[in-house]
Structure 1
Amino acid sequence: MELITSIRKAIDYMEKHLTDNISAQDVADQVYLSPFFFQKGFSLITGYGLGEYIRNRRLHNAALDLKETEDKVIDIALRYCYETQESFSKAFSRFHGVTPTQAREGADVKTFLPLSIKVQVQGGIQMEYKVTTMFQLKVIGFQKEFDYETAYQDIPKFWDEICEKYAANVYAGNEPANPQEKAIIDHCIGEYGVCIDDIGGGKFRYLVAGKYSGGDVPDGMVVYEFPRGDWAVFDCIGPIPESLQSLNTRIFKEWLPGNPDYELCGNGNVEWYDCVNGEKTDKDYHSAIWIPVKKKA
């Protein structure tokens, strides 16, 4: 139950530091997890992005301060880490549906209490996985930065963008017209979707990628290498992206919190897509999620 325990500890930490300018890195450091894996687990288990949760708790407390004290609005804004009264008033009105002045005068405001995390064991369908040791995995691909809180919506759009800009010509059976199109053929780009957490600021890198087989790296592309290690491999059958996102949610809500043998390690994970058989919209389409893990002490 280490992930659940970590989220509980993180909530306690955030409650004590709502008036401090804390970041996702600060919170993740308290529970000894990478920001990428912690924020993903927090969002999937609680239903809130980490930044969204902190913001909602601050605005809840700010409403209480408006109603229970005579402190100036600007002082309350600064207390809860807003740089100006205007930015605070805008966020306050968007969340509560009333202005700070109206709240002070007695208008109703929203309640957003600290989360209480409870463990609920759900059964019926066993989640199949295997743990295997892989050699170094070097990938090449097109890269873009994403925000943790909107990644589920934005990453499929990135795939569409890459396919339209670089892959449509070669997928139609034509000869590559530029180095990027040649790289798609040479390295089977599109076989992997790679998440890498190494930039901070509530963001991570995502690559539409393939296995790097050497040679030039065209403009607009990058190479990344995972070290040798153990990976938990979860097979997925169903149309993309819905089935893979559903599996990802189950991994973090069901498999990881209750797994007695393995815990997360590293700073990334890989989505694998079958580039040979079937279409991604097929009901029996095969894909997988690979997550780096280590044996629990």
Structure 2
Amino acid sequence: MKQYSPLERALEYIEEHLNDNIGLNEVSKETGYSYYYMTRLFTSVLGESVGRYINRRKLYNASRKLIDTDERVLDIAVDCGFASSEAFSRAFKSEFGSSPAEYRKAGADLVVNAKRELVPEDVYHIAHNISRSPEIIMTDETKVAGVRGTTSLSDNRIPEIWKQFLLFPKELFDGADVGYGICETKRAVYTRDGDVLFTVMAAGAVDTFESLPRTLDRKILSAGKYAVFTHRGTFANLHRTYRYIFGTWLKTAGEELDDREDFEMYQRKIVSYDDPDNEVKIFIPIK
């Protein structure tokens, strides 16, 4: 019997209930994984939120019906899970640039496939820039302090947050060239247009929180078991590494994700965002 990854199970459930009123809550319950990891899986592998993915799949089905059937627009809207023809028309025009009626009249086929496939660049990256078999380690609790900021799928502000953090004296932290990047998707907020806002921390390790500048945010990284991957090369390709971890490795590893935050640890001095010699270790919490 085929073993499905959490993402595959989520996608299968969505396809089977595409015309129902489902969202992140139902998908999380079906897979047995938390909001946090369902958010992480979808944003890392597919580059969009659960809500936007479901909406795009509904619109895909609707677009096919507009071209392949004579059903009324209202009936198609209801069949595809939209509350009204107005809501359907707004969503359809936002996605395809034309109303359902205009789309049908033109006989256009502008369908967007929401399931992202591996491209040759992904395959090369996996083969040359990722430690495909992670190191499994146990870590102690780690205190970190740094700068917290808000970013989103559509507006990446992470480089700006790192620039702010690097303005602080290195002497405040243990290990001058060691930094931590924590993507706090447990704090994720879904916007009406399907985007995801979440907080990110750029930080360094500290022995104690006492005597630190008030402008530094504090956080404790949980102790526990982690699968540690190494990413090499430009940080512009970090998303490819996360696609591999959540979309490929997790599927066959036989490991179960734990409901702690994953984080990144930078052990070399970062010269630039696009430096091909960059290296970062990615800690994925497992049970």
TM-score calculated relative to the size of structure 2: 0.72
> How much has 1:167 moved relative to structure 2?
3.7
Whether the 8 Å CA contact 1:132–1:230 is kept in 2: the answer is yes
Are 2:259 and 1:258 equivalent residues in the alignment? no
Are 2:204 and 1:210 equivalent residues in the alignment? yes
Are 2:114 and 1:130 equivalent residues in the alignment? no
1:199 counterpart SS class: strand
Question: 1:1-297 to 2 correspondence within 5 Å?
Answer: 4-45=4-45, 49-63=49-63, 67-70=69-72, 72=74, 76=77, 80-81=81-82, 85=86, 88-105=88-105, 107-111=107-111, 127-147=132-152, 149-150=153-154, 154=156, 157-163=157-163, 165=164, 167-168=166-167, 181=168, 185-187=171-173, 191-202=179-190, 203=196, 204-212=198-206, 213-215=208-210, 218=213, 221-239=216-234, 241-242=235-236, 244-260=238-254, 262-274=255-267, 277=269, 279-280=271-272, 282-294=275-287
> How much has 1:289 moved relative to structure 2?
0.8
- Aligned partner letter, 2:244: R
Whether the 8 Å CA contact 2:180–2:263 is kept in 1: the answer is yes
Q: Deviations over 1:245-271 (max 9, x none)?
A: 4433322233221113x2211231111
When residues 269 and 108 of structure 1 are mapped into structure 2, their CA distance, relative to the original with a 3 A threshold, is: same
Runs of 5+ consecutive residues of structure 2 not aligned to the other structure:
191-195
1:127 counterpart SS class: coil
When residues 159 and 116 of structure 1 are mapped into structure 2, their CA distance, relative to the original with a 3 A threshold, is: closer
- Aligned partner letter, 2:219: Y
> How much has 1:215 moved relative to structure 2?
1.5
- Aligned partner letter, 2:184: I
When residues 83 and 217 of structure 1 are mapped into structure 2, their CA distance, relative to the original with a 3 A threshold, is: farther
> How much has 1:160 moved relative to structure 2?
2.5
Whether the 8 Å CA contact 1:195–1:206 is kept in 2: the answer is yes
Length, aligned pairs only: 267
When residues 96 and 216 of structure 1 are mapped into structure 2, their CA distance, relative to the original with a 3 A threshold, is: same
Cα distance in 2 between the residues matched to 1:166 and 1:193: 11
1:198 counterpart SS class: strand
> How much has 1:27 moved relative to structure 2?
1.3
Q: Deviations over 1:130-158 (max 9, x none)?
A: 111111122222223344x44xx61xx33
Whether the 8 Å CA contact 2:40–2:185 is kept in 1: the answer is no
> How much has 1:11 moved relative to structure 2?
2.3
Q: Deviations over 1:223-242 (max 9, x none)?
A: 22233211112233334x13
Whether the 8 Å CA contact 2:63–2:111 is kept in 1: the answer is no
Whether the 8 Å CA contact 1:139–1:225 is kept in 2: the answer is yes
Percentage of identical aligned residues: 22
> How much has 1:36 moved relative to structure 2?
3.4
When residues 28 and 215 of structure 1 are mapped into structure 2, their CA distance, relative to the original with a 3 A threshold, is: same
Cα distance in 1 between the residues matched to 2:148 and 2:42: 25
Whether the 8 Å CA contact 2:227–2:284 is kept in 1: the answer is yes
Whether the 8 Å CA contact 2:46–2:116 is kept in 1: the answer is no
When residues 129 and 222 of structure 1 are mapped into structure 2, their CA distance, relative to the original with a 3 A threshold, is: same
Cα distance in 2 between the residues matched to 1:38 and 1:29: 10
Structure 1 residue aligned with 2:193: none
Whether the 8 Å CA contact 2:258–2:285 is kept in 1: the answer is yes
- Aligned partner letter, 1:234: F
- Aligned partner letter, 1:69: E
When residues 14 and 71 of structure 1 are mapped into structure 2, their CA distance, relative to the original with a 3 A threshold, is: same
- Aligned partner letter, 2:72: E
Q: Which has the larger radius of gyration?
A: 1
TM-score calculated relative to the size of structure 1: 0.70
Whether the 8 Å CA contact 2:161–2:201 is kept in 1: the answer is no
When residues 104 and 272 of structure 1 are mapped into structure 2, their CA distance, relative to the original with a 3 A threshold, is: same
Runs of 5+ consecutive residues of structure 1 not aligned to the other structure:
169-180
Q: Deviations over 1:103-162 (max 9, x none)?
A: 4546334446796999xxx89676242111111122222223344x44xx61xx333355
- Aligned partner letter, 2:271: E
When residues 29 and 141 of structure 1 are mapped into structure 2, their CA distance, relative to the original with a 3 A threshold, is: farther
